[in-house]
Structure 1
Amino acid sequence: MSTTVDPVLGPNPNQGDAIADENLKTPRRRIIMASLIGTTIEFYDFYIYATAAVSVFPILFFISDSEGAALLASMATFGAAFVARPLGAVIFGHFGDIIGRKATLVGALLTMGVATFLIGLLPTVYQIGLWAPAMLTLFRFCQGLGLGGEWSGAALLASETARPGKRAQAAMWPQLGAPFGFILANGLFLILAWVYSYDSTSIRALAAEDIDAALADPFLVWGWRIPFLLSVVMVAVGLYVRLRIEETPVFAKALEKKEQAKVPVGEVFKKNWREIILGTFIMLATYGLFYLMTTWILSYAIGSAETGGLGYNYMSFLVLQIIAIVFFAIFVPIAGRLADAFGRRRMLMTTTAGIIVFGLTFGVWLSAESIGSGEDMNVVQMLVFLCVGMALMGLTFGPMSAYLPELFPTNTRYTGSGVAYNFSSILGAALTPFVAVWLVQEYGVWAVGAYLAVLGVLTFISLILSPETSKKSLYSE
């Protein structure tokens, strides 16, 4: 690795990329805002779909005599976005590695925002038949394309402009978009459910007896559409912020030297296939944990006994989730500091060991015999479970926006980190809610925790095989 003095890089690249404030064309506060607000909007769009997939879509878009089958169908559609995410990483990564991070981030934001807005305008299966779930799946796929290109670009925007020795702390800002987007999405759903006096559990029971009466509920008529339609306002704000930033110094230097790859996806698979595999499995436990703690746990908590659920009140459980997500947000910056102080690899190995142990305790935490069901559910026990899971989530998710990009060279970093991150989404996120619902119905809730523990073991092995990257320069070697 080169150790020559560089006016931008500084005297010792092995200590990280020293990018001084005077070398940045865009103030750091604007960079932080651009990386944070974009991912917040993207994750907001993603989560409102996840919440609706549990509480609304099984009734409005999937006709079935079995409540469990309708929920499984809705979860399968939820997973369509994760199939699209690697494709989005390739498409947006191609342009991000050739023309730059800024323009590509704008395109990713627009793709996600338009798809989300159109979901809010969709007619239901009772109005246009099978075209409704087909169009829902299509727009969900487009959401995945946008998010597939969003994360890696936002991570590079933050990490490629970081101060020396603080790259993980700088890169944690786009990671905060996940809990912030979740709070916005579920907080809005909670307010709307309260305004419309909507209870998902009772509405599902009513739908099984009299679907016409259930469909007359104002929340199902148009209340659920409001969060989707409001996304257009948030996208406009995001575009305003992102259009006011400049290209990162790291990519600008690569552009000046004409170091871009002609076909980034081809080059990264040829030269960095090992890093793609490692990065995919490094993210595996993180994805599994998050979608168990958000999407699946909601379906389990409010689901009826027929689906193996606890039958708890929908609105009350959303409150518990929003409280717990605060722990996610708190531990993301803590993780960034720890990753800079002790290294990405050691910090993540410790956290992953905690995730494995946590998974093996699911039966103790969540079985109906242990926690109760319906209004008799032990609320304190559920809240502690959620907070522990979300704290672990913050610790494992926080360093990823530094660690994954650091595995790849400048000219394929957008594509490589995006592909690894989004390949992992198929294995760890797309399948997880679907598999978890099936496991509960067939074996019980302990099996869901065992599934998480297996994901954790695979991640732990990948971390053992991976290099430490905290002192690596992001500039081309």
Structure 2
Amino acid sequence: MSTTPGAVSPAPEASAGKRDPKKAAMSGWIGSALEYYDFALYSLAATLIFPTIFFPAENKTVGIIASLATYAVGYVSRPVGAVVLGAYGDRHGRKQVLVFAMLLMGFATFAVGLLPTYGQVGLLAPVLLVLLRLIQGFAVAGELGGASAMVVEHSPDARRGFFASFTLQGTQVGSILATAVLLPLAALLPADQFSAWGWRVPFLLSAVVILAGYIIRRRVQEPPAYAAKGTTEAKQRFPLVELLRTRPGAVVRCILMTFTNVIGMATLVFGVSYATQEGYGNGFSSSEFLWVTLVANIAAVATIPLFGALSDRIGRRTLMATGGIVGGLLVPGYLWAIEQGSLPLVFACVVIVQGIFFQMWNATFATFFQEQFPMRIRVTGFAVSQNIGLMLASFFPSIFTAIAPPGSANIPLTIGLTTLGICLVSTAATLLSPDTRGKSLDDLEARKAEKPVRQDELAGAAR
């Protein structure tokens, strides 16, 4: 092959286009907000509405546990979605998987709004609810992995934490949107009308999400590094095989780190049930705790970019470990505030626990997880480890209800100590992981694999 003397061959990334971290961050922010509107909407409804709509009303404890279990079912299908959508994102592009995940999520959420109730069709109602929740879980499994991989690969090395944090901020905005739509309906409609039809309105609005998501995702550009070489390399492998052979330790550590989500589940899933369900007797209304959830998410929107930028300066592990430990320590105080019946105290506690300390972890983990895996298996590595972790963690609210059912004594202490113990395990996994702040993706790519693997073995596994 001949070349012109003095000519300089373009770098692969240059030929594929320029990195655009601001546009990538904005695309991740908008897409995540829309998709997590759907997912958060179900989470709120599972604690506030579904126990009496889709399940028998005779036994309140059974209704609460069953409804929270359908919330958990969405996480059961997430590992399957992580494998399928992660492989698609690694082999065919981050953009393609994001478009598909958005459309599938919008369809499932819209369909929830059309479901008949238990009083109308009996057991068919919860069966259909579980089926749609499984579809939701499958779809959302590819969202954060694909979106954060795109942002990380577009971003400069010294500011990856800051730019990637906007994808996490988008998930909080989605929760705010879900709460903002439910809040006026729950506050203004009589209880019987809200239960009969008012709760369906936010789910039916997902038709707008389907259209908006398609338009937004189609305009997202692939990261230059991936566009230059990602599809050529990735199509030669099945990502899950290489992930488990070359990064098993990273996968296990990321799964355990994901358990830090127990803080959010103790405060905004079990905590909402503890505050509003009649069986616990704390007397808060659904509309009051929609405001609590809204304030917690607004605080998170404000703090996430700050902690993302701070992670670029002091390192990811410091923030993640601090947020997990202190957040776990403060959960008993938050549940105690609910027990005291003081709404101002609940607001103060939820801002501190969920809006500040949990966000130290939440703002940082996506960048940290992405940095643990090379580009050719990055979406799969993130999606599989995060979603297996979330699948396991999603059962915490039901476990909390089982170990501290209505009528139990010392509920704040029981749930608080359980939460802290889980956070200690997550923090240990964080501290055992290498910090990656400031290192180039090329350097991380060249890092020695945890378990060597021959290229001919990978090619054979792909065949």
TM-score (norm 1): 0.86
In the alignment, residue 329 of structure 2 is paired with which amino acid? V
> CA offset at residue 25 of structure 1?
5.3
Mapped partners of 1:277, 1:219: distance in 2: 43
TM-score (norm 2): 0.89
**Pairing partner for 1:423 from 383, 388, 406:** 388
Q: Does 1:437 align with 2:401?
A: yes
Question: Which consecutive residues of structure 1, in runs of 5 or more, have no partner in the other structure?
Answer: 10-18, 199-216, 372-376
Alignment of 1:180-259 (within 5 A): 180-198=173-191, 217-255=192-230, 258-259=233-234
Contact 1:49–1:78 at 8 Å: present in 2 too?
yes
Contact 2:90–2:378 at 8 Å: present in 1 too?
yes
Q: What's the CA shift string for 1:55-103, capped at 9, x where partnerless?
A: 2211111014211111111111111001111111111001111011000
Mapped partners of 1:239, 1:288: distance in 2: 32
Mapped partners of 1:365, 1:446: distance in 2: 12
Q: What's the CA shift string for 1:24-76, capped at 9, x where partnerless?
A: 45854432222011111121111111111122211111014211111111111
**Pairing partner for 2:238 from 263, 266, 270:** 263
Question: Which residue of structure 2 aligns with residue 207 of structure 1?
Answer: none
Question: Which residue of structure 2 aligns with residue 299 of structure 1?
Answer: 273
Mapped partners of 1:410, 1:87: distance in 2: 21
In the alignment, residue 423 of structure 1 is paired with which amino acid? I
> CA offset at residue 321 of structure 1?
2.3
Q: Does 1:405 align with 2:398?
A: no
Mapped partners of 1:435, 1:250: distance in 2: 44
Question: Which consecutive residues of structure 2, in runs of 5 or more, have no partner in the other structure?
Answer: 1-7, 447-463
Q: Does 1:388 align with 2:355?
A: no
**Pairing partner for 1:453 from 420, 439, 446:** 420
Mapped partners of 1:143, 1:278: distance in 2: 26
Higher mean C-alpha deviation, range 138-147 or range 354-363: 354-363
Contact 1:180–1:329 at 8 Å: present in 2 too?
yes
Q: Does 1:43 align with 2:43?
A: no
Mapped partners of 2:360, 2:286: distance in 1: 28
The alignment partner of 1:399 has SS state of helix
The alignment partner of 2:434 has SS state of coil
Count, aligned residues: 433
> CA offset at residue 163 of structure 1?
2.1
Contact 2:16–2:225 at 8 Å: present in 1 too?
no
Q: What's the CA shift string for 1:90-146, capped at 9, x where partnerless?
A: 110011110110001111111111110111111112222211110100000100001
Alignment of 1:252-331 (within 5 A): 252-255=227-230, 258-285=233-260, 287-304=261-278, 306=279, 308-331=280-303
Aligned alpha-carbon RMSD (Å): 2.2
Task: Decide whether aligned partners of structure 1 residues 227 and 109 sit closer, same or farther in structure 2, where only a CA change above 3 A counts.
Answer: same
Mapped partners of 1:318, 1:185: distance in 2: 10
Mapped partners of 2:234, 2:255: distance in 1: 26
Contact 1:362–1:448 at 8 Å: present in 2 too?
no
Mapped partners of 1:224, 1:282: distance in 2: 34
Mapped partners of 1:64, 1:221: distance in 2: 15
**Pairing partner for 2:62 from 46, 64, 69:** 69
> CA offset at residue 331 of structure 1?
1.4
Q: Does 1:103 align with 2:75?
A: no
Mapped partners of 2:212, 2:22: distance in 1: 16
Q: What's the CA shift string for 1:427-473, capped at 9, x where partnerless?
A: 22x11211222233245221111111011100111012110112333
Mapped partners of 1:231, 1:117: distance in 2: 5
Mapped partners of 2:217, 2:179: distance in 1: 25
